[in-house]
Amino acid sequence: MSFITKIIQKDQELLIYLNALGTEYWDSYWLIATNKLPWLPIYLVVLFLLFRYYKWKKTLAILLLVALLVAFSDQLVNLIKIGFHRLRPNNDPAIQNIIRVVKNVGGYSFVSGHATTSFAVTSFIIATLRNHFKAIYFILVWPLLFTYSRIYLGVHYPVDVTLGMLLGLLIGFTFYRFSLVVLPKIK
């Protein structure tokens, strides 16, 4: 058995274990947590903090950078998914009848777009605001719950979300470094 085959097998076993921890009682919560709209209060708090500490012009530049970050992240994830063609757990004949499929989704699984983009945005925002607002680290709750929801619902493997999180952190901090060049030029 090859190294990659062992990783895939362990990944499936971990998904089966974590997914089996779910119950019908919690299904509706995780279906809500996996959507972007319920997290709107966090987005509004971040927007308020940006305007408070960076004023109009720099906040608009930061929001433009976030929009570019999201677009870049989304397109990169799409390229990776096309390259790997990994079936989502809910569509994988090897385990789809073993796991609790709470949500049926099409497309490919590797890497998780939810994990990548949410961690990219969060790491960028934390890096941007950490010197002004120490409690900004609290927003890590969003991508952690958002990402775990994908495993709970049976639409991503743990490796998909873990590598998506790491990719998101890399993208977020890269965009932050770029912002350090751009923002000082805006008066």
- Residue-number span of the structural domain to which 98 is assigned: 3-185
Q: Give the per-residue pLDDT at 164.
A: 97
Asked whether 136 and 185 are in contact (CB, 8 A), the reply is no
How many distinct structural domains can be found in the chain?
A: 1
CATH of the domain at 46: 1.10.606.20
Q: Please say if the pLDDT value at position 169 is more than 90.
A: yes
Summarised one tens digit per residue, pLDDT across range 99-158 is 888 888 888 999 999 999 999 999 999 999 999 999 999 999 989 998 999 999 999 999
Kindly report the three-state secondary structure assignment for every residue of the chain.
CCHHHHHHHHHHHHHHHHHHCCCHHHHHHHHHHCCCHHHHHHHHHHHHHHHHHHHHHHHHHHHHHHHHHHHHHHHHHHHHHHHHCCECHHHCCCCCCCCCCCCCCCCECCCCHHHHHHHHHHHHHHHHHCCCCHHHHHHHHHHHHHHHHHHHCCCCCHHHHHHHHHHHHHHHHHHHHHHHHHHHHCC
Q: Give the per-residue pLDDT at 149.
A: 93
